[in-house]
Chains A and B, each alone.
Chain A
Amino acid sequence: MSDNIIIETRSLTKIYRTGKVEFKALNNVSIKIKKGDFIALMGPSGSGKTTLMNILGCLDRSTSGEVFLEGQNLSTLHDSQLAEIRSKKIGFVFQTFNLITNISAIKNIELSMIFAEVQRSSREAIALELLKNLGLEKVTKNLPSELSGGQQQRVALARALANNPSIILADEPTGNLDSTTGLQIMNLLKSINKQGKTILLVTHDSSLKKYANRIITMKDGEVSEHR
């Protein structure tokens, strides 16, 4: 395995069972993600993209097959080790922003640093720096409900970046935003990618293809890649 491969999956299979009905969400998925990649994971809903993202993001486990994150086999880890990997190596960005509603923007960012056991003294400075870089220095103390959708998604992006993760997993990050704001977020992601951050973008919006350097398409739990 070459050094610049961040994630590798081998014959990843995920089967959901509801009663006697089996549904194969992932079928023999083997992919490699290199450091600095901006991957667009595309496909219709129900194709298995979110399942793949959840497994890559250590939120879910595969039924069979293996996942390696920076050379570490995730299938053998238990819950609290997975939580630690999520906090330190993965940054999530969701379609619905998913900020914690009862705490301020800056505290939302600090929260992810609490989970990564970052020293209390440095948390605020890091969070402020991130907010400033994303043009949010005026709303640091605001509650999520007092922010616009674009602002909320930028706070979420700052939260994802706070622990300097190996990869950002963005699940339809523009899905709840108007086109102008969506564009801003995509440009932000692109600039983050240019600074060397690996990004996996899950979307079914084909207009976002242009931001990615690789496009992986899913259909019925199977992947195919085209340039």
Chain B
Amino acid sequence: MIADVFIMSVDALRSHKVRTFLTLLGIIIGISSVIIVTTAGDSVSYFVQGQMNIFDPTAMLIGVGTASDPPRISFTQSVFTDNDVKKIQDLPSVKNVAPVGVIPLRKISIRNGLLKWENAPGGSMYASAPEMLDILKLEIEEGRAFKEGKNEIVVTKTTTELFGKDQPLKIGDTVYIQRIDSKTIRAKIVGILKESSEGNVLTQLTTPSILGPTDPFYSTFIGSNVGGILHRITAYIILYATAIDTEHVDEAKTEIIDYLNRGSDASKYKKEKYDFVIVTQQYIIDRIDRVMGVIKMLVTTIALISLAVGGIGIANIMFATVTERTREIGTMMAIGAKRRFILQLFLYQSTIIGLMGAILGVILGASGSAFVIQVLNTYIKDLGGTAFSGSIALNFSLQWFGIAVIFGVFTGIAAGVLPARKAAKMDPVVALRYS
């Protein structure tokens, strides 16, 4: 009997191909748009996380600013001292810590022959400890890291072409770095950074073109009067730190904040209105996930609404079909159809539409996702692409088939119940007279 009802339902749907197709379309669009949005969102999310993981997941950025959500680091006050760096290094959950001083440069010069100078505009230079290369996961392609107390620098590939591609800077070359305060310091290039480590979301923001040791390049001092004598102490704007492993990031964070708030040098120099702020890698990932989550939820809501509209479409067409077939319903009852058969006949039709819409929706959703990701990948390349490495991979979950089928069938049944009941409740005498 069930097989017979099914065949009858399919026959009924096939006899109105255009109508069935248009009704299907409502469901197909609803389901495929949910899938496209979620799949594209997931894929982008994984991609961004992949980019993040190039950067050390145990890394933290310590600064002063506003401990709001999101925390804001203000790059206006240099408060961390070498003593602070040493104390933080001794904390149990901290693996490495390196101070970072930002040195604004006026120009960079090389000597070409005895009296000929060539100048290039300087950007900014980071002065830090050699550990910073590790923390930022910057790899050296050629040469070695700089050493503390030496006039040595490590530069990016781009920096080597500062004076033209035809005369790239090489390991062992000497450049003259003029700081914004006009002091010029001689520096020997000892290392060149690997290209790939120049380009990912986070390091793009944090990698300067030149890195060198704090001594002798960095000299930002803060003064404090102790017994009428002015002490000049080197101070840094931010610190980079790593936790001993990913599980200890939060502990390290708490330890550092505790230390900074209780008796650190930085707490003495910090302006009252600022807090100590630590931005962790995980925090950034969570932020991106949260933003992605909100976008996904929003579009999923819209897509679910469109699925509901599709369901209303089914209900609408089923009501029309029931009315249109009133006399046939009367006839079927006259030749012996039970009310249950009539109910099933129409319920099956709406369910088949829901089911087929779901299956076609998943297929369209899968191919649509692939298409959207291809477009996104093209866009990333068009944008210059230095901020991203690699391309977004399609992250399509096969579970969608199950989820979509459940949703489609549910929509079909929900949409079909009222029209099918209307059909099943007809009085055969009245239905037979209908014209």
Contacts and interface: CB of A to CB of B under 8 A. Distances in A.
Interface in A75-103: 79-80, 83-84, 86-88, 91-92, 94, 98-103
A102 B339 contact: no
B11 interface: yes
Contact of B15 (A101, A115, A120, A159): A101
Contacts of A117: 1
Contact of B331 (A91, A100, A116, A163): A100
Contacts of A57: 334
Contacts of B336: 83-84, 86-88, 112, 115-116, 163
B428 A59 contact: yes
B50 to A, nearest CB: 54
A114 B1 contact: yes
Contacts of A107: 11
Interface in B314-351: 327-328, 330-341
B20 to A, nearest CB: 12
Contacts of B8: 103, 111
Given A59-B429, A114-B1, A98 B338 contact: no
A92 B339 contact: no
Which one of A101, A102, A163 has the greatest number of beta carbons of chain B within 10 Å?
A102
B313 to A, nearest CB: 21
Given A54-B429, A59-B429, A102-B11, A83 B328 contact: no
B432 interface: yes
A80 B332 contact: no
Nearest to B5: A114
B428 A112 contact: no
A160 B340 CA distance: 21
Interface string B209-225: 00000000000000000
Interface in A28-80: 54, 57, 59-60, 79-80
Interface residues of A, number: 31
Contacts of B332: 100, 111, 115
B12 interface: yes
Contacts of A120: 4
Contact of A83 (B331, B339, B429): B339
B198 to A, nearest CB: 68
Given A100-B328, A101-B328, A115 B11 contact: no
Contacts of A116: 336
Which one of B1, B334, B339, B341 has the greatest number of beta carbons of chain A within 10 Å?
B334
A202 to B, nearest CB: 13
A100 B336 CA distance: 14
Nearest to A97: B331
Contact of B341 (A60, A79, A98, A115): A115
Contacts of B14: 102
Interface in B1-54: 1, 4, 8, 11-12, 14-15
Contacts of A86: 333-336
A45 to B, nearest CB: 13
Contacts of B12: 102
A115 B334 contact: no
Interface in A7-41: none
A59 B430 CA distance: 10
Contact of A80 (B328, B339, B428, B432): B339
A214 to B, nearest CB: 24
Nearest to A85: B336
Which one of A57, A84, A86, A120 has the greatest number of beta carbons of chain B within 10 Å?
A86
A157 to B, nearest CB: 12
A103 B4 contact: no
A28 to B, nearest CB: 21
Contacts of B330: 98
A221 to B, nearest CB: 16
Contact of A103 (B11, B337, B340): B11
Contacts of B339: 79-80, 83
Given A59-B429, A101-B328, A103-B8, A111 B335 contact: yes
The 10 nearest A-B residue pairs measured at CB: A87-B336, A115-B336, A102-B15, A98-B331, A83-B338, A112-B335, A86-B336, A114-B4, A92-B334, A59-B428
16 contacts: A59-B428, A59-B429, A83-B338, A84-B336, A84-B338, A92-B331, A94-B334, A98-B327, A98-B334, A102-B12, A102-B14, A107-B11, A115-B332, A115-B335, A117-B1, A159-B335
